[in-house]
Amino acid sequence: MNKSGNPTSLIMIFGATGDLAKRKLFPSLYRLFEKGSLTDQFAVVGVARRPLTNEEFQTSVKDSVLTALGKDANIDEFVSHFYYHSHDVTDSSSYVTLKTMAAGLDEKYNIGGNRIFYLAMAPEFFGTIALHLKSDGLTDVKGFKRLVIEKPFGHDLESAKELNEQIRTAFSEEEVYRIDHYLGKEMVRNIEVIRFANAIFEPLWNNRYISNIQITSSETLGVEERGRYYETSGALRDMVQNHMMQMVALLAMEPPIRLTDEEIRSEKVKVLRALRMPEGEQIKDYFVRGQYGKGTVNGEELPGYREEQMVNPESNTETYVAAKLMIDNFRWAGVPIYIRTGKRLTTKSTKIVIQFKDIPMNLYYQTDKELNPNLLVIHIQPDEGITLHLNAKKAGQHLDATEVKLSYANSGINGMNTPEAYEKLLDDCMHGDATNFTHWDEVALSWSFVDNISEVWENTKEESYPNYEAGSKGPKAADELLEKDGFFWWPIMELDVDKC
């Protein structure tokens, strides 16, 4: 930290010429610089195989910021802190050169030996880089050292364990920051505040008052150029193992003793341990998989998954997952948590719907429909906000009840967009706050749960594929999953915060 309380650090971005760095990391660092969270005591070293000069790299960073934000205030001063190193991740001599470069920048900017190594590249290089950073002396610093890793962290539990062992030879668990960008989203971070700072919700947050919880993360896009990656991943590994599991843990965890990263992580781990694990034939009672076929959206014909680039024409990979999760503990016994996520669906949206139980007896009859249940809707993207669905008296002489919505929208009320997830996560990492990063115990438990499902799916060919059209709401079996319990998926469009 410098005198102003802002962190000082040398940030090495491995994969600095890649898409993630250009679209997310450089613009996020610029926003932190613009706000004063990054002072003059920082430097960024872009590391990639491509040969570039410092000037060419700085021009690329500048273009990335202008493309993403359309801003150029103090941009030249900002990019002057960026340097480039053409690097071979398997060559020790390349790391030695990088070490010399880092030592010079540390002295030039009075950084104090603080280093962040951000691996924004293919996961197969994570272990190799971590081992070289240790053996070639880049982790021998007098300040802090932190390793930031993008998902996927392994392909299954065994590969995740192997990767973790490699990383832990160079970094302790407290120094490893596994990014799940959903944990940087404003309304995901707001889940804890909604629960633990409001007396009207926390006493009701249990199986006595909540009938079910629904988590939806839908995309309109297909796999497009990510076909090769998606063929080895699928929606289960790509979305459920990380993003969806993290939201489930935040919604279901017990109140922590203190709001520290250790206590919050401890409570999240307890939730993952309590997840009911379906076995063999039971899986079809709890999980639904889907794969999109051809469809037409706004007059445009869209290809099916099997027609996408680098996809097997007879692929068994799922592009949609719906599931009924049960948490077998005292608070949540009997309350289903439904999740669904998929590509090429009707709308792009991520929402959480908490449905409260019906009152014992409906005293307020309406001529056309029954009394609606109370809902708490947390809007995560593209809108950000909260909506509480209540029942109130209709205008007029009669005592008929009608639904009303109390709504708060971040973008609407504040008149500005909330900070980008990567901006907040980078800031957290520089300050040493690991609350919104994934601990190894969470990773291991999530993989253990998901591996049980994927093993059955990979060994059982789904004959119904494709089972939903591109641009549709998903496979019919996902609706039937809830109908068996007497519930239905709440229509996403009707819950939009901007319509409330």
The residues annotated with a catalytic role in the active site are 243
Q: From the CB of residue 405, how many other CB atoms can be counted at a distance below 10 Å?
A: 14
Cβ-Cβ contacts under 8 Å for 126 (sequence gap 6 or more) = 119, 149, 163, 166, 167
Most distant CA atoms of the chain, gap in Å: 84
Q: What is the CA radius of gyration of the chain?
A: 24
Rounded Cα distance between 347 and 468, Å, is 14
Which residues partner with 476 through β-bridges? Answer: none
Encoded tokens for 135 = 């053996």
Which residues partner with 327 through β-bridges? Answer: 275
Rounded Cα distance between 490 and 500, Å, is 15
Rounded Cα distance between 400 and 167, Å, is 63
Output phi, psi for 105, to 5 deg.
-70, -35
Distance of CA 497 to the CA centre of its chain: 21
Cβ-Cβ contacts under 8 Å for 286 (sequence gap 6 or more) = 276, 278, 323, 324, 325, 326
Provide the Cα torsion 257, 262, 268, 274; round to 10°.
-90
> In Å, what is the CA distance from 158 to each residue of 123, 125, 163, 372, 392?
15, 17, 9, 46, 54
Cβ-Cβ contacts under 8 Å for 473 (sequence gap 6 or more) = 345, 346
- Amino acid identity for residue 498 in this structure: D
CB 115 within 8 A of CB 102: yes
- DSSP string computed for 69-124: H---TTHHHHHTTEEEEE--TT-HHHHHHHHHHHHHHHHHTT-TT-EEEEE-S-GG
Q: Which residues of 326-357 are buried (b: 16+ CB within 10 A; e: fewer)?
A: bbeeebbeebbbbbbbbbbbeeebbbbbbbee
Q: Which residues of 2-13 are buried (b: 16+ CB within 10 A; e: fewer)?
A: eeeebbbbbbbb
